[in-house]
Structure formats: structure tokens, C-alpha cells
Structure 1
């Protein structure tokens, strides 16, 4: 039941986060859906751990009730070179988009705060 609930949340949030051009994270699930080649064009899950850390060290009185995007939170923390998160560093500029995000979505929509 919990997995179903999580799946429904993902389906709902994909529309909300569509404008942010979110890339895929290499997991067993993405490999199951797209094959082993998906790793070559995805980021390592480490980016999620580092983003979580950047969130957790913030003051909980001023940082609560938010949805975060890993790349944005790391950029705000001063980490702007994200190439080391690529599963294959040579492909850091060729990351595939998330499965639930259209390819033709602009990466920085006007008027949308981060």
C-alpha cells in the first residue's frame, strides 16, 4: 500500500516539477524500466544524499514545508559543479531527462521561483 501511495505522489508531482527539467537518477527501478544503458546518462544517487544533507543542516525554523530539487538545493549551498554526480563523468553534459518530464520543457521557466 505504501508503494502504491508513493507511486501516486510521483505521478502527481511530475506535473508540478515538469518546468524544472529534472534529470534521471540511476536506480534499480530506472534500470528495470530503461535497461542497463540508463546508467550512462543518469546521475548517481549520491546527489540525493548530498542534497538531503544540505537541507538537514538548515535551521528547521526557517526551512520547513518545502519541496526541493536536488540540483537547486546544491546550487544554493554553493555546489555548482555537479559533473562528479554523473554515473559516467564523460556524459555529464548528456544526461537524459526524468522519465516523467517532457523533452521540450524549458529548463528555466519565467516567473517560477526556486
Structure 2
């Protein structure tokens, strides 16, 4: 399968950034895209809403369903899944993209922020999978793709920001577990992570880093497309990196993804160079 035409993707946090890039790449194939995110009113500090994302998806050739959904709330997630099924007849793909970030040490991490990260990242990914799986198990080529890094117990990733690392590795361990449980049932459960920083609003959380030190979200959209068009059977439990995926798909020139080719690319967290 080389296209997502007619497939229904449920993407969390897809109102901007990487989630939107994945949505737009699928839309170019003629996919149905469920934009499940909290942003339904424009915010001058954080551009993009579920409605602007839905318009962009439809302009790109897809069908869109904009759903205001806080993935911390079980009722909202189940209602969003039901609305997706009502609109498109089922769900073929879940993309766990929504994530909260706070790159501070223990003494500078309010418990409210700690709780938010755990609830959105690991718990949210588990909840969305739990809600979508009854549909995925009926789909002909089902995928769960979660945006999280390869699991690591290296203290260098834990010391500087234990709360955030715990939340992201929580997503990774949820992926491991779901892959072991549902991979044998034909659901491809995998993770995708960028080799370099990606120029999204999350970069504002990292001191000393500019957008020019990263690649555009399009590289993650293209890499996700390459993953999600693969046969699901026997393809589970992989922790994939964007440029490796694209290299396997035949891409050799990555310069077009650089925000500023004259600036050095900074590696993303959790990956050893």
C-alpha cells in the first residue's frame, strides 16, 4: 500500500506543528483526518486551531473532522472516537502526537506541570489507544503511531528534566506494551522520533535554540506517511527515527527539510548522535 486514500486517521494535537504536518501529508492522498485537539479558539501566542487545521486538510485534498478534545478527559476521548466513527465509518490509524513539555529540573517543576505531562503524554496515549482499538481491530491495515523516543535509562536524559523524561518514556513504554499485546493481533504499533530538533512552538521551551537549528515538521509528515502505508502485519514494536525511515524509502537529500541550511542542525533529545 502506497497511499492513505480513503483511510481514516485520528490524530491528537493536530492543530499545529508535527501533528498538522502528518495530517496534511495524509490529506494529499485523500485521507479522512480527525483533528482532535484542545485549540478551538485562536491564540496570538500559539497559532493554529482545529478549525484552521481542518481547512488546511480539506484544501490539501482530504476530508476533515475538527473535534475539540482534551485527551486527559476520558469522556471527551470516547465522544471524539464515536464522532469519528459516525462521520467516517471507522478508524484505521491512531497517531498519538499530543504532548506536554517542561524542560526544567526537579526544584523548578511545579506539580501541576508534572501532572499535566504525565496525564497528556503517557496516560493520554494509553487512553486514546484504548478508545480506538475496538475500531482498529476491525480495520484492514491498522496502525498506532506514537511520537516518542526509543526507551532509554541513560541518566544523562533523566537528570536535567526528570518529569518530562518520565512522561516521554512513559509513551515509549506504552508503545512497547501495546505492541506486545496487539501486534500479534495484526495492529502495527510503533513509535516515531525526529533525528533533529523540529521547528515547532515547543522550541520556545529550549533556551539557546533557534528555529534555524531544526528541520521543518514536513520531515515528520513524510516519515509518518512512509510508516503508515506499510503492511501492518508483523510490523510492530519498532522505535523509528524520521531520517532513517525516509532513507529506507529512498530519500537521499534532506537539505529541503532544513529551516536554514546555513545553520547547524541540533540533535533532538533522547538520541545519541
TM-score (ref. length: structure 1): 0.66
1:110 maps to none
In structure 2, stretches of 5+ residues that fail to align are 1-117, 126-163, 173-193
Label 1:11 to 1:38 Cα distance change in 2 as closer, same or farther (>3 A). farther
Q: Kindly state the Cα deviation for residue 99 of structure 1 after the two structures are TM-superposed.
A: 4.1
Q: Which has the larger radius of gyration?
A: 2
**1:16 aligned partner:** none
Any idea what the Cα deviations from partners look like across 1:8-59, whole Å, max 9, x if unmatched? Answer: 342566xxxxxxx932111101123236x51011011111110000001111
Structure with a larger share of its residues in helix: 1
Unpaired runs of at least 5, structure 1: 14-20, 108-114
Please give the secondary structure, in 2, of the residue aligned with 1:98.
Answer: coil
For 1:24, the equivalent position in structure 2 comes to 197
- The match for 1:111 is none
Partners of 1:33 and 1:95 lie apart in 2 by 14
User: TM-score scaled by structure 2?
Assistant: 0.30
RMSD: 2.6
- Is the Cα contact below 8 Å between 2:195 and 2:242 reproduced in 1? no
Q: CA deviation at 1:2?
A: 3.1
User: SS of the residue aligned with 1:74?
Assistant: helix
**Alpha-carbon distance between aligned partners in 2 of 1:83 and 1:57, rounded to the nearest angstrom:** 24
Matches within 5 A, 1:67-78: 67-78=239-250
| Corresponding residue number in structure 1 for 2:267 | 97
| Residues paired across the two proteins, number | 93
Q: Which has the higher strand share?
A: 2
Describe the shift of the 1:59–1:99 C-alpha distance in structure 2 as closer, same or farther (beyond 3 A): closer
Q: 1:3-82 maps to which residues of 2 (within 5 A)?
A: 3-5=120-122, 7=164, 8-11=166-169, 22-34=195-207, 38-82=210-254
SS of match in other structure, 1:95:
coil
